[in-house]
Amino acid sequence: MRQLAELSVYTATDNPFHDANLNQHFKWHKKQEKEKKMGLSAAESQARDSARRLEAKEELERLNRRRAEREVEQALREEEEARMARLQESAQMAEWIAKDGDFQLEQERRRSGIRLKERRAKAIDFLALNLKYARPGVEEEDDGLGLDEVGLEIDLDEPYTILDVSH
């Protein structure tokens, strides 16, 4: 009875239900009558109730443990999903970086071709041009310079003379 009084939300003074028996332990009189008809004594009935309460308590503990296990599993699953998402983003970023590197290289080749066409080439442009024609027997492929349709007449030097700093 003390436990029920301690668990009670309301006191006798602020009882909104106007229940005079608010602090008393509730008893199922019809249940007790039914058990008497079945031939159970009060001690047997109390033992049965306490066994039922113990069973309910154990079931509640099992349910709480299972809920805690599910929460741990859910946290692990979310962590794994986040890790997989990070890996996927990393792979996507690596792909973008590779594409960007290819794009930058292509742009640099085009700038080199433009400088050659406009006759304001740098040493690196002559090196690129020499390397284009230094591979005999290799099929003509689009090198990004865009010089094939222009028809420039450029004297090609040996590549080592381009890099010679004594010039």
pLDDT per residue as tens, the chain (167 positions): 445 445 556 676 777 777 777 777 777 788 888 888 888 887 887 888 899 999 999 999 999 999 999 999 999 999 999 999 999 999 999 999 999 999 998 898 889 888 888 888 888 887 777 777 766 555 555 555 656 555 556 666 666 665 665 65
**pLDDT of res. 1:** 44
For the chain, the DSSP string reads -HHHHHH-S--STT-TT--TTTTSPP--HHHHHHHHHHT--HHHHHHHHHHHHHHHHHHHHHHHHHHHHHHHHHHHHHHHHHHHHHHHHHHHHHHHHHHHHHHHHHHHHHHHHHHHHTT---HHHHHHHHHHHSSTTSPP---SS--TTTT---PPPPHHHHS-TT-
**pLDDT of res. 144:** 58
**pLDDT of res. 7:** 56
* pTM of this prediction exceeds 0.75: no
**pLDDT of res. 5:** 46
**pLDDT of res. 69:** 97
**pLDDT of res. 55:** 96
| Domain map (residue ranges) of the chain | 1-39
